[in-house]
Structure formats: structure tokens, C-alpha cells
Structure 1
């Protein structure tokens, strides 16, 4: 049983490392603002088109930044959930014996 728990911990660590290598994006206004993040929800880049930046007022820019960030983080959640689900599908068969099945 202990070995299976250790294997599950190791797999979780591997998934976390893999999520660090997956990029997700959030865009608004046709790409005028683009946020890049890892699937572990670390923001890695913020891009704002110069023309849009010159024309936007502060409040509009702040609102659109929040929207783009939230889109990127939502995509990160989806990727993370899919990775975890795929990993646990394989583990469930192995963990079933742990509970006497």
C-alpha cells in the first residue's frame, strides 16, 4: 500500500513538472492584449499591441487585462484537470487493490 501511495506522489510531481512546460493563452480585443501562462498558472508573458495601448484609457486597459488573465488561468485549469484525469485513469486500476478490490 505504501508503495502505491509513493507512486501516486511521484506521478503528481511528474504531472506538475509537465504542466510547467505547457503554455496557455488568454486574448482579448482580437489579440490586442495577450497573456501567456503555464498550465500551473504562472503568468510568463504579457503582450499589448502598441496602437491599442496608445488609444485605450486606463480603466479599459485594466478591465481587459483582467479578462485576458482570467481566460489564461481558466485554460490552465482545463489543461491541468485533463492531465490529472488522464493520470488518475491509469492509477485507479493499480490503487483498486489497495482497498481490497
Structure 2
């Protein structure tokens, strides 16, 4: 009924391995984002780990303004990283998924 069950299990394991490999690779994919006036720059990985923050010293005298810059710039960078992360992991997972009969009935 389900065909080669061990073959499907092997493919599922391959898919899991591809996802793990992709997660490791995404640690090396860097996303750079800057505020519109370049006073704050951030770099993070596609796995959303912050690697660097550069702050223009003119912002160091106003904590509230600095916080606003950081929030806006970090959120933009995280949004980009999340999109890359989700897309890459979906491709990795889908590429290794077995063709299970009846699973594509909602095309």
C-alpha cells in the first residue's frame, strides 16, 4: 500500500540531513542592514545571530534616539534574514521528501 517503507524512511532521513546542512550553511550567510542615514549598521547571519553593530558616535549622546535606530535597523535585518532562512530551509526539506501516495491530493 505504501510502497517501499524503508526507502521513504531513508528519504526522510536525507531530508533531515539536508535541513541540518542548510542550517549550518546559513550561519555563514551574512545580512547587512543600515539605517537610512547610515548612522547604525548591523550584520547578522541568516540564522538571525547578530555578528556586528556599528553606531555613529553622534547617536551616543541620546539613548532614546539610539534605541529607535537600533530597533528599526535590527527589525529590518531580522526580517530579511527570516525570509532567507525560511526559503532555504523549505527548499532543503522539500528536496528530500519522499513521494508519499495521497499526500498531494490538495493541489
Q: TM-score, normalised by structure 1?
A: 0.81
1:18-57 alpha-carbon deviations (Å, 9 max, x no partner): 100000122114211011100000001010122x325x51
Gaps of 5+ in 2: 1-7, 103-107
- RCO comparison, higher one (Cα < 8 Å, 6+): 2
Q: TM-score, normalised by structure 2?
A: 0.77
RMSD: 1.8
Gaps of 5+ in 1: none
Q: Which has the larger radius of gyration?
A: 2
Runs of 4 or more above 3 Å deviation? none
Report matched runs for 1:1-101 at 5 Å.
1-50=8-57, 52-54=58-60, 57-92=62-97, 95-96=98-99, 99-100=100-101
Structure number with the higher helix fraction is 1
1:25–1:71 CA contact under 8 A, matched in 2: no
Aligned residue pairs total 95
Greater Cα offset, 63-72 or 36-45: 63-72
